[in-house]
Structure 1
Amino acid sequence: MILTVTPNPSLDRTYEVPSLERGEVIRASGERMDPGGKGVNVARAVAAAGRRTVAVLPLGGAPGALVAELLAAQGIEAAPVPVAGATRSNIALAESDGVLTKINAPGPRLSAAEQELLLDTVRAHSRAADWIACCGSLPRGLRPSWYADVVARAHAGGTRIALDTSGRALVEAVRARPDVVKPNAEELAEAVGRPLVTVGDALQAAEELRGMGAGAVLASLGADGQLLVDAAGAWFGSAHVRDVRSNVGAGDSSLAGFLIAGGGGPEALASAVAHGAAAVRLPGSVMPAPGDLDPAAVTVTSDVPVGRALTEPVTA
């Protein structure tokens, strides 16, 4: 069982539009409403693969009730933590050329009692988990070291933990030695405090995160592919994707694929790449099912192309 923890979930509305024009009325060609948040997306991808998952998340107000209904409709076992504030609602605008514009709300502020109940709920369900995936931003009220506390508690209970967050929360959690961290290129650059222009830059940054405490680093490099660095070495995985519809949740789908395949080594990286490539061909934040995957299109090599320029370098 894969337990997911989403401290700041959302109700996600995605609209497909021809293009964005400020000040104009834009007619959508398609729309979706999904339960959102990075950990929720991981749970949805795990469930789509036919694997058991339990989603721990604080829920409040009418949006929270709708998130619970949508999770149940997708066959996902939820462990909701009731909170006084309303769950946030996010909007994504997906243009026909693949460009995505997102508007993310801040979410509710969690009280001290709600924070403790969230930790207790994670603890109660972690005993049966093979992996805990802690994902996304922290809501107002939670200190940046919150994820580090969860990592320490998970290891004390003998459970492996994967982490997908950013900024100070990532840096502090890495010091608690999570088994896997999954930054994208921007988050990786922010963590080490310098630009990433080539795959080699990303490799060096991932190695630095390992030196700070991360057991393994699974780095998403956008259209260029994914990089896995652990104690056994480094691997680079890629897949050519045409007809990109939406990259919402693609990184979350990748993490799910990685954990489903065992959470370590080149085979797990290949699964991560296949899941991420399948996700971007689907509308909104739809998570891929096994029939959407194309493992034959995935290439994984230990010959990391360190000199290759990133398609979307992080220069700031």
Structure 2
Amino acid sequence: MNSPSAHQARLIVTVTPNPALDVTYHVNGIHLGQTHRVSPPLERAGGKGLNVARVAHQMGHPALAVAPAGGASGTVFRTELEASGVPHRLIPVTANTRRSIAFVDTARDMTSIFNEHGLPLLLSEWQSLAAAVAETLDGSPDGTAPRCAVLVGSGSLPAHAPEDFYPELVRLAHRHGIPAIIDTSGRGILDAARAGADLLKPNHQELMDATGEMDLHRAARHILDLGARTVLVSAGAEGMYAFTAQAPDIHWRARLPQPLTGNPTGAGDAAVAAAAVALASGESHPEAILRAATAWSAAAVLMPAAGEISPRHAEVARQLIVTREENRP
């Protein structure tokens, strides 16, 4: 039996249950109620897990994106993804892949985004998606296929999705002896925590909404008490926080001396990609993961589209101010 190389063993598998075809229009001034003439839009396969895989792939780390795709928009989705070079496994479904439409007002430097709701998948299609993830984690018997080192589940769920989708991903990862990262919102955060997710990555508002807490420290502690091992919380200009079950009385905070201006879309996905790469490479210290996640997240703000980070990420990392602080009671 051939043994997989160290490079193969670091494969990051991302699962995006509710992907989107990202459609971006650039308009030199938007005026409500008026007609606008625009150039053809930029169309790109998107969704949080797709963005995570794109960033990891850009940074030279093996990644595989798993997602459903269907209908006319799904065809465009598949074509763009194939052209991108990002390794992927798409599950054919009946429903049209939803669209996320962005209107970039270049005159005012403002972006308005309209996210379609994801259409329901058939039970058999959910089963096919779950089977594809399990097969990917199993690898090949002869060792020629890469083995997964980290499983990432990202994004919202379409209507009528299985309530245990993300908890089952966590349990599946643990059965294979690998960590699970979950980046979602609402009840999904709580359910993934109860399943023992190794890392959760909500933003500040998502964490507050999910827990009902008004204090960041209490909200993070609530998630840890449910069973999560690490919680990374992005808080805009305040930076990013790392809370862990191993050290419940302290946390780490990373921030830049001054916040960057640019496009925040995809910054959270870049943070997840950095955390996944760190875990896949054997790094487990929360401060190191936080440093990488904050630097990549900030570097994503400098790029015009989600799924990319600026070559300045190393420069950004050197500017970080990282502190170890006690949690408030």
TM-score computed with the length of structure 1 as normaliser: 0.88
Map of 1:260-279 to 2, 5 A cutoff?
A: 260-262=277-279, 264=284, 265-279=286-300
Partner of 1:189: 208
Partner of 1:248: 265
Question: Relative to structure 1, is the Cα distance of residues 123 and 286 closer, same or farther in structure 2, using a 3 angstrom cutoff?
Answer: closer
Partner of 1:284: 305
Deviation at 1:135, TM superposition (A): 0.4
Partner of 1:23: 33
Contact 1:11 1:67 in 2 (8 A): yes
Deviation at 1:29, TM superposition (A): 8.8
Per-residue CA deviations over 1:208-259 (Å, capped at 9, x if unaligned) read: 1101111100111122211111123410011233331x11111001111122
Which residues of structure 1 form unaligned runs of 5+? Answer: 196-200, 307-316
Matched, 1:56 2:75: no
TM-score computed with the length of structure 2 as normaliser: 0.84
Deviation at 1:302, TM superposition (A): 0.7
Deviation at 1:286, TM superposition (A): 4.5
Identity of aligned residues (%): 34
Per-residue CA deviations over 1:254-301 (Å, capped at 9, x if unaligned) read: 111122223642111111111111111111325115455422222211
Question: Relative to structure 1, is the Cα distance of residues 113 and 283 closer, same or farther in structure 2, using a 3 angstrom cutoff?
Answer: same
Deviation at 1:19, TM superposition (A): 5.1
Partner of 1:219: 233
Deviation at 1:18, TM superposition (A): 5.2
Separation of aligned partners in 1, 2:16 and 2:218: 29
Deviation at 1:304, TM superposition (A): 6.4
Partner of 1:107: 118
Partner of 1:259: 276
Separation of aligned partners in 1, 2:165 and 2:152: 14
Partner of 2:322: 300
* SS of residue in 1 equivalent to 2:60: coil
Question: Relative to structure 1, is the Cα distance of residues 283 and 156 closer, same or farther in structure 2, using a 3 angstrom cutoff?
Answer: same
Which residues of structure 2 form unaligned runs of 5+? Answer: 1-10, 139-146
RMSD of Structure 2 on Structure 1 (CA): 2.2
User: Structure 1 residues 234-243 or 161-170, which shifts more?
Assistant: 234-243
Map of 1:31-46 to 2, 5 A cutoff?
A: 32-46=42-56
Question: Relative to structure 1, is the Cα distance of residues 85 and 259 closer, same or farther in structure 2, using a 3 angstrom cutoff?
Answer: same
* SS of residue in 1 equivalent to 2:181: strand
Deviation at 1:9, TM superposition (A): 0.5
Contact 2:242 2:252 in 1 (8 A): yes
Deviation at 1:90, TM superposition (A): 0.9
Question: Relative to structure 1, is the Cα distance of residues 235 and 16 closer, same or farther in structure 2, using a 3 angstrom cutoff?
Answer: farther
Separation of aligned partners in 2, 1:148 and 1:192: 17
Matched, 1:179 2:216: no
Alignment: residue pair count: 300
* SS of residue in 2 equivalent to 1:258: helix
Question: Relative to structure 1, is the Cα distance of residues 227 and 134 closer, same or farther in structure 2, using a 3 angstrom cutoff?
Answer: same
Separation of aligned partners in 1, 2:164 and 2:109: 35
Contact 1:49 1:290 in 2 (8 A): no
Separation of aligned partners in 2, 1:30 and 1:210: 46
Partner of 2:181: 162
Separation of aligned partners in 1, 2:297 and 2:327: 20
The counterpart of 1:121, out of the listed 132, 137, 145, is 132
* SS of residue in 2 equivalent to 1:237: strand
User: Structure 1 residues 277-286 or 290-299, which shifts more?
Assistant: 290-299
The counterpart of 1:7, out of the listed 10, 14, 17, is 17
* SS of residue in 1 equivalent to 2:197: coil
Question: Relative to structure 1, is the Cα distance of residues 302 and 120 closer, same or farther in structure 2, using a 3 angstrom cutoff?
Answer: same
